[in-house]
Amino acid sequence: MTSDPWEEMTRRWREMYQEHASLAQKNFLDGQAQLATALAGGAVVDPGELWRSWMAFGDSLWGSPLGGGGDAASGAGAIGALRESVSLSLASGGAVSEALRRMAEGPRLADVGTSQRLIAKVMKLWLSVQDSARTYESVVSGAWAQANTRFVERLSQRYGTGTDMPDAKESLKLWLDVANQVLLETHRSEKFLDAQRQLLRSGMDFMLAEREFVEALVEPAGLPTRTEIDEVHRSIHELKRRVKTLERASVTTSLATTSESGSTDVRPRTTSKGKDP
């Protein structure tokens, strides 16, 4: 125990983090052992590839909203981070996906393998996000390729009719107009909307599984979980509603007892006043 509460708190947090990191590492190694068993019958997986995928996952986990407090804005960023991660491409083996699927969806035993199952579930969904991101990016890339093609066609048309080629400024405007048109068309296409929706779904599924995993880690340490805090907020919200309803009922009752006053519009009075800071 030190005399500096801040230092003491940071020390305890650091220890707690290290404990959790160790636990996560142990779970991973246990999961590897299970994977090896699961794969022993046939499919071959590259352990190095799996390790890289795990590291990529770890980066996302500790930098993610649930690792850092569950802020909604960070949550929005997490999807972008997923898509941008170069590491995404490192763990794409079908055998790994299949093994993870079996681990995540296999029979649940009461006291065995919960954390391994959760890790497998998170990793499986991570791969699913990767697949969705690839599909989405291929649709978007297709749109840019289409824009290039149309731009060249326009220039060819000018060339074919003997029109002077546009200068730099005119070329830029033409290119931007063409690209804008193609992107607008793409955004409304079924292909794009399907790919975007699938990416969104995969991302949401991943983040919910990630939350489940993190909550399983922090709950034994007595730390509040996102789910618990949401429940608390809901309770407070419902209490506020009840108070407002009671306030209004109370005003209505007092109106009924003084109905001779003539006023027909009674609401709770204002609660605070002041100058604009």
Q: Which is nearer to another protein, 145 or 208 (CB)?
A: 208
Cα(207)–Cα(66) distance, integer angstroms: 8
Contact 131, 91 (CB under 8 A): no
Pick from 12, 26, 237, 242: which binds another protein (CB under 8 A)? 237
**DSSP secondary structure string, 19-46?**
HHHHHHHHHHHHHHHHHHHHHTTS----
Going by C-alpha positions, the residue among 90, 92, 101 that lies closest to residue 35 is 101
E strands, 62-216, where? none
DSSP code, position 113: S
Site for another protein in 175-194 (CB under 8 A): 176, 179-181, 183-185, 187-188, 193-194
Pick from 11, 14, 191, 234: which binds another protein (CB under 8 A)? 234
10 binds another protein (CB under 8 A): no
Beta carbon of residue 160, minimum distance to another protein (angstroms, whole number): 10
269 binds another protein (CB under 8 A): yes
Pick from 42, 162, 222, 262: which binds another protein (CB under 8 A)? 162
201 binds another protein (CB under 8 A): yes
Beta carbon of residue 184, minimum distance to another protein (angstroms, whole number): 5
Site for another protein in 40-79 (CB under 8 A): 70-73, 75-77
Going by C-alpha positions, the residue among 102, 120, 128 that lies closest to residue 204 is 128
Q: Which is nearer to another protein, 2 or 264 (CB)?
A: 264
Cα(181)–Cα(139) distance, integer angstroms: 15
Cα(191)–Cα(187) distance, integer angstroms: 9
Going by C-alpha positions, the residue among 218, 217, 195, 199 that lies closest to residue 207 is 199
Cα(261)–Cα(200) distance, integer angstroms: 58
Which chain residues interact with another protein by CB under 8 A?
70-73, 75-77, 158-159, 162-168, 172, 176, 179-181, 183-185, 187-188, 193-194, 196-197, 200-201, 204-205, 207-208, 211, 230, 233-234, 237-238, 241, 244, 264-265, 267-277
